[in-house]
Amino acid sequence: MVKICCIGAGYVGGPTMAVIALKCPSVQVAVVDIAQKRIEAWNSDKLPIYEPGLDDVVKQCRGKNLFFSTEVEKHVDEADIVFVSVNTPTKTTGLGAGKAADLTYWESAARMIADVSKSSKIVVEKSTVPVKTAEAIEKILTHNSKGIKFQILSNPEFLAEGTAIQDLFNPDRVLIGGRETPEGQKAIKALKDVYAQWVPEDRILTTNLWSAELSKLAANAFLAQRISSVNAMSALCEATGANVIEVSYAVGKDTRIGPKFLNASVGFGGSCFQKDILNLVYICECNGLPEVAEYWKQVIKINDYQKNRFVNRVVASMFNTVAKKKIAILGFAFKKDTGDTRETPAIDVCKGLLGDKAELSIYDPQVTEDQIHKDLALSKFDWDHPLHLQPMSASSITEKQVTVVGDAYEAAKDAHGLCIMTEWDEFKTLDYKKIFDNMQKPAFIFDGRNVVNVDQLREIGFIVFSIGKPLDAWLKDMPAVA
């Protein structure tokens, strides 16, 4: 029986390994983590992450061929294949701060693998890492290995949160990079055999290590670039009376472009896009390619612009001040069907409104009150000027300024304005007449996800702003939004 161990029981390690266990009953999978609470949750009825379909997969395999444990060293030692799926956030201090990937967790995992292993292993990079990381990992493993042989593979993960199980069941592709030596090719085959139990062979791509590592950064950069492109267009649509929904539909009909990932929004969020592009920017700079670095930076600059633009639109529309005005925030997660708030645009928008002294009433179906308070208390790291950390004075946010409530109607009661930050399905079918009746007048809706029916809401009496759509007469009269 092949034994797999995955270090890191997070958004990637947990679902990925659960699906491998489900699809490969003859493989034994142990998912290990140093975070005891996380492992306890994986072993309970309330899993540590919300992901549609995940409960069902875990229930089918847990205790059979899927185990969650804090006994990291024991499971690593016993495994034939060790996946490393630890977090690789952006460095916040030191060399490369604000851009480079922080490989502290990765390095400590690699050193531990070398320390505890008593048999040869395949070590798989599942985390997203800078190109050439495998070379550094190889050095750490071979210098500390006491003669044990390790083969390093790069097998980046392409799942998106909210659709992780679907993506894992039916991936567009699985990418495996390895050394072009007989041992490297043998390791690639061993991992390919695992995926081949449910993924068609023509979707399992094999490459050299550096291509696999770089493809992951490139894929995220391309995806984020599409969103920044359509968001840039959304600003022009608002200025000209074009409708971004119609524009992106027309553009996406070109089979060379395709329809996906062209939804204008308040900005992209999530733990990957910004981090991976910054990482790409840093790698380009380190390789003497400042023009290429500058090109990719623009994707993030437009994303920041879009979030600022949204805040400015809200404030400008409401007579240039939101001080002491209640504003309902519907949705806090970075996208629907997840409780994840990492880099969610809601944080920047809320902080912008709080900076103008608004009082926020926040509702999200999956994000806890505690998480929202934590997120709003974090200092924002200024990636473009890492030496000048912007101290968003978290301590100056009073309790009255942020309340977290249990439903959308409560959030909107007596509010002057309502902002939709996440495209949760339930926001499409709210009783907006009831909401309107209970709001202050004039009542404003700012839809950052294009989920509401603008005409219907205008008929009810709302003043509506929806990203990239023709402006309400009211908004046209308000000062230009920079």
Known binding-site residue numbers for NAD(+): 8-13, 33, 38, 86-90, 127-128, 161, 272-275, 342
The annotation places the binding site at 8-13, 33, 38, 86-90, 127-128, 161, 272-275, 342
Q: Which residue is nearest to ligand NAD (CB)?
A: 10
Q: Indicate whether 105 belongs to the interface with ligand NAD (CB under 6 A).
A: yes
Nearest residue (CB) to ligand NAD, 35 versus 251: 35
CA pair distance 200, 173, nearest whole angstrom:
9
Amino acid letter, residue 112: M
Partnered with residue 175 across adjacent β-strands are: 205
Exposed, middle or buried by CB within 10 Å (0-12, 13-18, 19+), for 340? Answer: buried
Give, as ranges, the residues between 258 and 277 that touch ligand NAD (CB under 6 A). Answer: 271-272
Q: Which amino acid, 465?
A: F
Interaction of residue 225 with ligand NAD, rule CB under 6 A: no
The three-state secondary structure class of 23 is: helix
Tell which one of 51, 161, 359, 447 touches ligand NAD (CB under 6 A).
161
Contacts of residue 343, defined as CB under 8 A and 6 or more positions apart, other chains included, come to: 269, 270, 271, 273, 274, 275, 334
End-to-end CA distance of the chain: 61
Is residue 380 within 8 Å of 350, Cβ to Cβ? no
Instruction: Output phi, psi for 244, to 5 deg.
Output: -60, -25
CB closer to ligand UDX out of 79 and 420: 420
Nearer to ligand UDX, 273 or 462 (CB): 273
Is 99 one of the binding residues for ligand NAD (CB under 6 A)?
Answer: no
Quote the tokens at residue 216: 């992951």
> Which 51-90 residues touch ligand NAD, going by CB under 6 A?
72, 85-88
Q: Could you tell which of ligand NAD, ligand UDX, none binds residue 334, using a CB distance below 5 to 8 A set by kind? A: ligand UDX
Residue 152, C-beta contacts closer than 8 angstroms, at least 6 positions apart: 122, 123, 124, 125, 134, 137, 138, 141, 178, 179, 209
Closest approach of Cβ 226 to ligand NAD, in Å? 17
| 6 catalytic residue (yes or no) | no
Residue 262 touches which member of ligand UDX, ligand NAD, none, C-beta under 5-8 Å by kind = ligand UDX
Is-contact 281 296, C-beta < 8 A? yes
Give the β-pairing of 444-447 and 326-330: unpaired
For ligand NAD, which is the closer residue by CB, 217 or 454? 217
Q: Which residues bind ligand UDX (CB under 6 A)?
A: 157-161, 220, 223, 227, 261-263, 265, 268-270, 272-273, 334-335
Beta bridge partners of 30: 5, 67
CB of 7 vs ligand NAD, minimal distance in Å:
5
Cα–Cα distances in Å, from 433 out to 439, 443, 457?
Answer: 10, 11, 8
Find which of ligand UDX, ligand NAD, none residue 72 binds, CB within 5 to 8 Å per kind: ligand NAD
Phi-psi region of 121 (alpha: psi -120 to 50; beta: other; left: phi over 0): beta
> Binding residue for ligand NAD (CB under 6 A) from 20, 21, 22, 38?
38
Beta carbons within 10 angstroms of residue 370's beta carbon: 9
Interaction partner, residue 127 (ligand UDX, ligand NAD, none; CB < 5-8 Å by kind): ligand NAD
How far, in Å, CA of 217 to CA of 75, rounded? Answer: 30
165 lies in the binding site for ligand NAD (CB under 6 A): no
Does residue 125 touch ligand NAD according to CB under 6 A? Answer: no
Q: Taking CB within 5 to 8 Å according to partner kind, which of ligand UDX, ligand NAD, none is near residue 265?
A: ligand UDX
Closer residue to ligand NAD (CB): 38 or 226:
38
Reduced to 3 states (helix: H, G, I; strand: E, B; else coil), residue 118 is coil
Q: What is the spatial distance between Cα 116 and Cα 146, in angstroms, rounded to a whole number?
A: 10
345 binds ligand NAD per the rule CB under 6 A: no
Residue 38 binding target from ligand UDX, ligand NAD, none, CB below 5 to 8 Å by type:
ligand NAD
Question: Could you tell me which of 163, 159, 231 has the C-alpha nearest to residue 449?
Answer: 231
In the complex with ligand UDX, the residue whose CB is nearer, 161 or 348, is 161
Instruction: Return the SS3 of 26.
Output: coil
108 binds ligand NAD (CB under 6 A): yes
Binding of ligand NAD by 447 (CB under 6 A): no
What phi and psi values does residue 382 have, to the nearest 5 degrees?
A: -90, 100
**What are the two backbone dihedrals, phi and then psi, of residue 281, each rounded to the nearest 5 degrees?**
-60, -45
Please report how close the Cβ of residue 159 comes to ligand UDX at its closest, in angstroms: 5
Would you count residue 12 as binding ligand NAD (CB under 6 A)?
yes
Residue of 6, 61, 237, 272 with catalytic role: 272
Decide whether 184 or 352 has the Cβ nearer to ligand UDX: 352
| CB nearer ligand UDX, residue 362 or residue 467 | 467
- Binding flag, residue 11, ligand NAD (CB under 6 A): yes
CA distance 53 to 277: 30
- The contact set with ligand NAD (CB under 6 A) reads 7-13, 33-35, 38, 72, 85-88, 105, 108-109, 127-128, 157, 159, 161, 271-272
User: Which residues are tagged catalytic?
Assistant: 272
